[in-house]
Amino acid sequence: MIKKLDNKVAIITGGAGGIGKATAIEFLNEGSDVLLFDLNENDLKNLCQEISSNHLSYYAGDVTSFEDNLRAVEIAKEKFGGLDIFVANAGIEGDVKNLEDYDIEKFDQVMSVNVKGPFLGLKASIPALTNRGGGSFIITSSIAGLSGAPQIGAYATSKHAVIGLMKSAAKECADKNIRVNTVNPSPVETRMMRSLEEGLMPGESEQAKDLMESNIPLGRYGKPEDVAKVMLFLASDDSSFVTGSVYTVDGGSTA
Protein backbone atom coordinates (compact mmCIF):
# COMPACT_ATOMS: atom_id res chain seq x y z
CA MET A 1 0.00 0.00 0.00
CA ILE A 2 1.44 3.37 -1.04
CA LYS A 3 1.56 5.89 1.77
CA LYS A 4 1.13 9.63 1.36
CA LEU A 5 4.73 10.50 2.28
CA ASP A 6 6.65 7.48 0.99
CA ASN A 7 10.28 8.40 0.22
CA LYS A 8 9.82 11.89 1.69
CA VAL A 9 12.08 13.53 4.27
CA ALA A 10 10.76 16.14 6.72
CA ILE A 11 12.22 18.54 9.26
CA ILE A 12 9.88 19.67 12.05
CA THR A 13 10.98 22.58 14.24
CA GLY A 14 9.51 22.81 17.71
CA GLY A 15 9.56 19.05 17.29
CA ALA A 16 9.44 18.23 21.00
CA GLY A 17 6.20 20.14 21.60
CA GLY A 18 2.63 18.90 21.35
CA ILE A 19 1.96 19.83 17.72
CA GLY A 20 5.47 18.82 16.69
CA LYS A 21 5.08 15.39 18.24
CA ALA A 22 1.65 14.78 16.70
CA THR A 23 2.91 15.89 13.29
CA ALA A 24 5.95 13.63 13.51
CA ILE A 25 3.76 10.63 14.32
CA GLU A 26 1.38 11.45 11.46
CA PHE A 27 4.28 11.82 9.01
CA LEU A 28 5.99 8.63 10.17
CA ASN A 29 2.76 6.68 9.82
CA GLU A 30 2.55 7.88 6.23
CA GLY A 31 6.07 6.77 5.32
CA SER A 32 8.22 9.86 5.88
CA ASP A 33 11.64 10.08 7.47
CA VAL A 34 11.54 12.80 10.14
CA LEU A 35 14.18 14.99 11.77
CA LEU A 36 12.95 16.75 14.90
CA PHE A 37 14.61 20.14 15.46
CA ASP A 38 14.22 21.74 18.88
CA LEU A 39 16.24 23.51 21.57
CA ASN A 40 16.02 20.98 24.41
CA GLU A 41 18.06 17.85 23.72
CA ASN A 42 16.63 15.87 26.65
CA ASP A 43 13.07 16.45 25.43
CA LEU A 44 14.09 15.34 21.95
CA LYS A 45 15.83 12.20 23.23
CA ASN A 46 12.84 11.24 25.36
CA LEU A 47 10.42 11.75 22.49
CA CYS A 48 12.53 9.70 20.08
CA GLN A 49 12.71 6.90 22.66
CA GLU A 50 8.93 7.08 23.15
CA ILE A 51 8.13 6.91 19.43
CA SER A 52 10.94 4.43 18.71
CA SER A 53 11.31 4.50 14.93
CA ASN A 54 14.32 3.93 12.69
CA HIS A 55 12.91 6.68 10.49
CA LEU A 56 13.11 9.29 13.26
CA SER A 57 16.10 11.35 14.39
CA TYR A 58 16.71 14.71 16.07
CA TYR A 59 18.93 17.75 16.16
CA ALA A 60 19.17 20.05 19.19
CA GLY A 61 19.57 23.57 17.86
CA ASP A 62 18.25 27.12 17.89
CA VAL A 63 15.82 28.16 15.13
CA THR A 64 17.00 31.77 15.49
CA SER A 65 20.48 30.73 14.28
CA PHE A 66 21.02 30.46 10.53
CA GLU A 67 23.93 28.08 11.15
CA ASP A 68 21.69 25.76 13.17
CA ASN A 69 19.04 25.79 10.44
CA LEU A 70 21.69 24.93 7.87
CA ARG A 71 22.98 22.15 10.09
CA ALA A 72 19.50 20.67 10.43
CA VAL A 73 19.17 20.59 6.66
CA GLU A 74 22.60 18.98 6.31
CA ILE A 75 21.73 16.31 8.91
CA ALA A 76 18.49 15.51 7.06
CA LYS A 77 20.50 15.08 3.87
CA GLU A 78 23.20 12.98 5.57
CA LYS A 79 20.79 10.69 7.45
CA PHE A 80 17.93 10.42 5.01
CA GLY A 81 19.23 11.55 1.62
CA GLY A 82 17.56 14.92 1.10
CA LEU A 83 14.73 17.20 2.15
CA ASP A 84 11.15 17.43 0.87
CA ILE A 85 9.18 19.01 3.72
CA PHE A 86 10.03 21.70 6.26
CA VAL A 87 7.52 22.42 9.03
CA ALA A 88 8.44 25.70 10.74
CA ASN A 89 6.47 24.99 13.88
CA ALA A 90 8.68 26.38 16.68
CA GLY A 91 7.05 29.24 18.53
CA ILE A 92 6.81 30.97 21.89
CA GLU A 93 3.88 32.82 23.41
CA GLY A 94 5.71 35.67 25.14
CA ASP A 95 4.10 37.54 28.01
CA VAL A 96 0.45 38.32 28.68
CA LYS A 97 0.65 42.07 29.27
CA ASN A 98 -0.67 45.35 27.98
CA LEU A 99 1.52 46.99 25.35
CA GLU A 100 2.69 49.81 27.61
CA ASP A 101 3.95 47.23 30.12
CA TYR A 102 5.45 44.82 27.60
CA ASP A 103 9.17 44.18 28.00
CA ILE A 104 11.08 45.21 24.88
CA GLU A 105 13.55 42.32 25.10
CA LYS A 106 10.66 39.85 25.41
CA PHE A 107 9.03 41.37 22.32
CA ASP A 108 12.30 40.95 20.41
CA GLN A 109 12.55 37.32 21.57
CA VAL A 110 9.03 36.49 20.36
CA MET A 111 9.73 38.06 16.97
CA SER A 112 13.06 36.27 16.71
CA VAL A 113 11.66 32.79 17.35
CA ASN A 114 8.29 33.18 15.63
CA VAL A 115 9.27 35.24 12.57
CA LYS A 116 13.03 35.11 12.12
CA GLY A 117 12.93 31.35 12.75
CA PRO A 118 10.69 30.56 9.74
CA PHE A 119 12.62 33.08 7.61
CA LEU A 120 15.88 31.31 8.40
CA GLY A 121 14.24 27.95 7.81
CA LEU A 122 13.21 29.08 4.35
CA LYS A 123 16.65 30.52 3.63
CA ALA A 124 18.36 27.30 4.69
CA SER A 125 15.96 24.83 3.08
CA ILE A 126 15.13 26.34 -0.32
CA PRO A 127 18.30 24.96 -2.01
CA ALA A 128 17.71 21.46 -0.63
CA LEU A 129 14.02 21.49 -1.56
CA THR A 130 14.93 22.74 -5.03
CA ASN A 131 17.41 19.90 -5.47
CA ARG A 132 14.58 17.41 -4.84
CA GLY A 133 12.44 19.01 -7.55
CA GLY A 134 10.38 21.02 -5.10
CA GLY A 135 8.61 20.38 -1.84
CA SER A 136 6.42 21.83 0.88
CA PHE A 137 7.24 24.49 3.47
CA ILE A 138 4.62 24.85 6.21
CA ILE A 139 4.58 27.58 8.86
CA THR A 140 2.55 27.33 12.06
CA SER A 141 0.77 30.64 12.49
CA SER A 142 -2.37 31.11 14.63
CA ILE A 143 -5.85 32.59 14.55
CA ALA A 144 -4.04 35.39 16.43
CA GLY A 145 -2.43 36.03 13.05
CA LEU A 146 -5.84 36.83 11.55
CA SER A 147 -7.21 39.35 14.04
CA GLY A 148 -6.06 41.46 16.94
CA ALA A 149 -5.61 39.95 20.37
CA PRO A 150 -5.33 42.08 23.52
CA GLN A 151 -2.48 41.44 25.96
CA ILE A 152 -0.58 39.17 23.58
CA GLY A 153 0.51 41.89 21.18
CA ALA A 154 3.93 40.44 20.42
CA TYR A 155 2.53 36.99 19.70
CA ALA A 156 -0.27 38.33 17.49
CA THR A 157 2.18 40.57 15.64
CA SER A 158 4.51 37.65 14.98
CA LYS A 159 1.70 35.42 13.73
CA HIS A 160 0.48 38.12 11.34
CA ALA A 161 4.05 38.59 10.12
CA VAL A 162 4.60 34.97 9.12
CA ILE A 163 1.54 35.11 6.88
CA GLY A 164 3.21 37.92 4.95
CA LEU A 165 6.42 35.90 4.82
CA MET A 166 4.49 32.87 3.57
CA LYS A 167 2.66 34.77 0.84
CA SER A 168 5.88 36.35 -0.43
CA ALA A 169 7.73 33.03 -0.36
CA ALA A 170 4.88 31.24 -2.13
CA LYS A 171 5.14 33.58 -5.11
CA GLU A 172 8.93 33.65 -5.07
CA CYS A 173 9.32 29.87 -4.86
CA ALA A 174 6.54 28.78 -7.21
CA ASP A 175 8.90 28.37 -10.17
CA LYS A 176 10.95 25.98 -8.01
CA ASN A 177 7.82 23.89 -7.27
CA ILE A 178 8.13 24.75 -3.59
CA ARG A 179 4.71 25.26 -2.00
CA VAL A 180 4.46 27.51 1.06
CA ASN A 181 1.40 27.70 3.34
CA THR A 182 0.44 28.47 6.93
CA VAL A 183 -1.64 26.49 9.42
CA ASN A 184 -3.52 28.73 11.84
CA PRO A 185 -4.85 26.92 14.90
CA SER A 186 -7.17 28.22 17.58
CA PRO A 187 -6.25 27.19 21.15
CA VAL A 188 -4.82 23.67 21.18
CA GLU A 189 -4.28 21.36 24.16
CA THR A 190 -0.57 22.07 24.65
CA ARG A 191 1.81 23.55 27.21
CA MET A 192 1.53 26.96 25.53
CA MET A 193 -2.17 27.21 26.34
CA ARG A 194 -1.58 26.38 30.00
CA SER A 195 0.83 29.33 30.11
CA LEU A 196 -1.59 31.69 28.35
CA GLU A 197 -4.52 30.64 30.55
CA GLU A 198 -2.53 31.39 33.69
CA GLY A 199 -1.34 34.68 32.22
CA LEU A 200 -4.84 35.81 31.32
CA MET A 201 -6.43 34.85 34.67
CA PRO A 202 -3.73 34.19 37.29
CA GLY A 203 -4.83 31.49 39.71
CA GLU A 204 -7.99 30.86 37.70
CA SER A 205 -6.64 29.08 34.65
CA GLU A 206 -9.55 26.61 34.48
CA GLN A 207 -12.00 29.50 34.28
CA ALA A 208 -9.85 31.05 31.54
CA LYS A 209 -10.03 27.82 29.57
CA ASP A 210 -13.80 27.59 30.00
CA LEU A 211 -14.16 31.15 28.75
CA MET A 212 -12.02 30.56 25.68
CA GLU A 213 -13.76 27.29 24.85
CA SER A 214 -17.12 29.03 25.06
CA ASN A 215 -16.02 31.26 22.18
CA ILE A 216 -15.19 28.29 19.92
CA PRO A 217 -18.28 27.15 17.97
CA LEU A 218 -17.30 23.46 18.23
CA GLY A 219 -17.04 23.94 21.99
CA ARG A 220 -13.53 22.67 22.68
CA TYR A 221 -9.84 23.31 22.19
CA GLY A 222 -8.21 21.60 19.27
CA LYS A 223 -6.09 18.51 19.75
CA PRO A 224 -2.52 18.40 18.40
CA GLU A 225 -3.70 15.63 16.07
CA ASP A 226 -6.29 17.98 14.54
CA VAL A 227 -3.47 20.27 13.46
CA ALA A 228 -1.18 17.42 12.41
CA LYS A 229 -3.72 16.08 9.93
CA VAL A 230 -3.79 19.44 8.13
CA MET A 231 0.02 19.48 8.19
CA LEU A 232 -0.07 16.07 6.51
CA PHE A 233 -2.39 17.33 3.77
CA LEU A 234 -0.09 20.27 3.05
CA ALA A 235 3.01 18.07 3.14
CA SER A 236 1.59 15.49 0.74
CA ASP A 237 0.87 15.53 -2.99
CA ASP A 238 -2.82 15.84 -2.11
CA SER A 239 -2.10 19.59 -1.94
CA SER A 240 0.03 19.77 -5.10
CA PHE A 241 -1.87 22.86 -6.36
CA VAL A 242 -2.05 24.60 -2.99
CA THR A 243 0.37 27.42 -2.18
CA GLY A 244 0.13 30.86 -0.62
CA SER A 245 -2.83 29.77 1.51
CA VAL A 246 -3.91 30.16 5.13
CA TYR A 247 -5.47 27.03 6.67
CA THR A 248 -7.46 27.65 9.84
CA VAL A 249 -7.87 24.75 12.27
CA ASP A 250 -10.06 26.57 14.73
CA GLY A 251 -13.38 24.86 15.40
CA GLY A 252 -15.19 27.66 13.58
CA SER A 253 -13.64 30.50 15.59
CA THR A 254 -13.00 32.70 12.56
CA ALA A 255 -16.20 31.80 10.69
Pairwise CA distance, residues 200 & 17, whole Å: 21
Q: Which amino acid is at 238?
A: D
Is 102 among the residues known to form the active site? Answer: no
Pairwise CA distance, residues 228 & 27, whole Å: 9
Q: Which amino acid is at 186?
A: S
Pairwise CA distance, residues 165 & 181, whole Å: 10
Query: For 40, phi and psi rounded to 5 degrees?
Result: -95, 110
Bridge-based pairing of strands 85-88 and 135-140 is parallel
Nearest to 231 by CA among 29, 60, 1: 29
Q: Check 59, 102, 155, 247 and give the catalytic one.
A: 155
- Which residues belong to the active site? 155
